[in-house]
Amino acid sequence: MSHIAMITGADRGLGLALTANLLTQNWRVFAGQYMPDWSELNDLSTQYPNQLTTIPLDVSSQSSTQSAAQTVEQKADRVDLLINNAGINAIHRDRTIREPQDYDEIHRVYDTNSLGPLRVIEAFLPLTDQSTMKRLCFVSSEAGSITRAHRPAWFGYAMSKAALNMGVRTLFNHLRPDGYTFRLYHPGGIRSYIGGSGVKGTRGGQEPEEAAIPALAHFLESYADPKAED
């Protein structure tokens, strides 16, 4: 029986590369699609019609996450691997506190990066509960590290990833006794579209296809006995 994965933010970048990688490993993949006009994910669906199902998903919307979970439930009896990859950054991220802040934009970043994964986990728990693997994965960032903080700006993104890290720890405290295992991962700098301008960034040190290889290896790494001490 093939394993079943659900990936958010699979339209492009790291999410698309993770989806493609899992498909080559014969996984059944449900891919959250936020931008239906972006062609790459649809191209993968054509290439893997029996393995890949795309699902409309906006992680900042509770109704959207619940609808996505219901769609998966109609097609599968469980989800083994849930990868929370969807994330955004602010267009005005480089503004310091001496410059006007766009708080609506910062709120949108936080709502997507911090609360989005909680909405997804809540909606998909009935499906992940049915799995023996029970692996929950989260794409975070060094920008969320308190000890390594060095930027004078990036309020929305850095604060949202710090909040995500705490949220994952809280989920761990509650779900670990039920057999869940967790992967919280910083993939490094990636040339991606996360900047919000619609243009692929050039400053990252690696392409998404490169970053997906170690990321997926980490996500699929053998997990310890849930009863073991961490």
**What is the model's pLDDT at position 166?**
95
**What is the model's pLDDT at position 143?**
64
**What is the model's pLDDT at position 116?**
98
Q: Is 123 a residue whose pLDDT tops 60?
A: yes
In tens, the pLDDT along 78-107 reads: 999 999 999 999 888 878 888 898 999 999
Determine which of 78-87, 114-123, 124-133, 197-206 has the lowest per-residue pLDDT on average: 197-206
Question: pTM value?
Answer: 0.88
Domains present along the chain, CATH in parentheses? 4-219 (3.40.50.720)
Distance between start and end Cα atoms, the chain: 30
Determine which of 17-21, 87-91, 123-127, 143-147 has the lowest per-residue pLDDT on average: 143-147
Query: Between these two residues, 46 and 148, which has the higher pLDDT value?
Result: 46
**What is the model's pLDDT at position 90?**
87
Grade residue 154 by pLDDT with cuts at 50, 70 and 90.
Answer: confident
Which candidate, 82, 170, 63, places its Cα nearest to that of 131? 82
In tens, the pLDDT along 176-218 reads: 999 999 999 988 788 766 554 455 545 567 899 999 999 999 9
